[in-house]
Amino acid sequence: MTSVDTDVLVVGGGPSGSATALRLASLGHRVTLVEKRATPRHKACGDILTPRAVAELARLGIDPLDPGRGDGRTGGWAGGNGHRIEGVRLIATGREIAEPWPEHPDLPGHAVALRRDVLDESLRERARGAGVTVLMGHEATAPLAERGFARRYATSVAAMLVGLAVIYASGTLWLAYFARLASASAAVGLSTALATGVYPFVLADLAKLVAAAGITPGLWRLIGTR
């Protein structure tokens, strides 16, 4: 087995993993990105990059309308056949409304449709170009599962609660940051983030957690008897 010396290990070569790896590498960190699939995949996705996603890509120095070299395998932005989307059309109960994207001081006035396999591979190429070590066909194994956390109800619940808390904490701070930009006060930003990103989901997430933690130890026992 080969060992890799790295400052940061990013797990998952989807858009968030590649963007995180790219940003950390451009800040000077030694970054390794592991993606369990050996080759680019087609993922179920509407393939739409909203104006906010287009702005995020611009922050990474990427224009998804840039045709690049189009081969998906060159250094830097490989590009693809992105299509500019000027607005949205809503169709329901026999009515149709067409609207341009809302105007925003920091966001472009257009979205882009780009195939996900092209986006994912091109972002990984960009990350490679920035010095990230990208290991395709490498799966991060689950240290908690390996230590038997998923085999007992109590430890299963505890592990899932910690995971949920991390997701809620990071997501809420992120939402609060954007809500703060649109309002005058940090308190309003935080309460908006809680009202839109936490309260509507917390009950369903806790129910899913209790169900998943109940089922998982049983599945382990089932596998263990084979």
Enumerate binding residues for ligand FAD (CB under 6 A).
11-17, 34-37, 43-48, 53, 139-140
Are the beta carbons of 126 and 136 closer than 8 angstroms?
A: no
- Contact 216/150 with Cβ under 8 angstroms? yes
- Hunting for tokens 């290990």 — which residue is that? 9
CA nearest to 88, candidates 113, 105, 64: 113
Q: Pick from 34, 51, 9: which is nearest to 135 by CA? A: 34
Q: Two tokens at 186? A: 């940090």
Among residues 200 and 214, whose Cβ is nearest to ligand FAD? 200
- The whole-angstrom separation of Cα 57 and Cα 112 is 11
Euclidean distance between CA atoms 120 and 123, whole angstroms:
5
Q: Of 35 and 125, which CB lies nearer to ligand FAD in the complex structure?
A: 35
CB of 29 to ligand FAD, least distance (A): 19
Rounded to whole angstroms, the Cα distance separating 186 from 94 reads: 42
CA distance 206 to 35: 29
Rounded Cα–Cα distance for residues 124 and 78 (Å): 10
Q: To the nearest whole angstrom, how small is the minimum distance from the Cβ of residue 173 to ligand FAD? A: 17
Residue nearer to ligand FAD on the CB measure, 44 or 184:
44
Judged by CB, which is closer to ligand FAD: 48, or 161? 48
Tell the smallest beta-carbon distance from residue 167 to ligand FAD (Å).
Answer: 11
Question: Smallest distance, Å, CB 145 to ligand FAD?
Answer: 10
Q: Give min distance, CB of 187 to ligand FAD, in A.
A: 29
Q: How far is the CB of 190 from ligand FAD (least distance, A)?
A: 24
Using the minimum distance from each CB to ligand FAD, give the nearer residue, 38 or 204.
Answer: 38
Give the DSSP H or E segment for 26: helix 15-26
Q: Please, which residue, 28 or 106, has the CB nearer to ligand FAD? A: 106
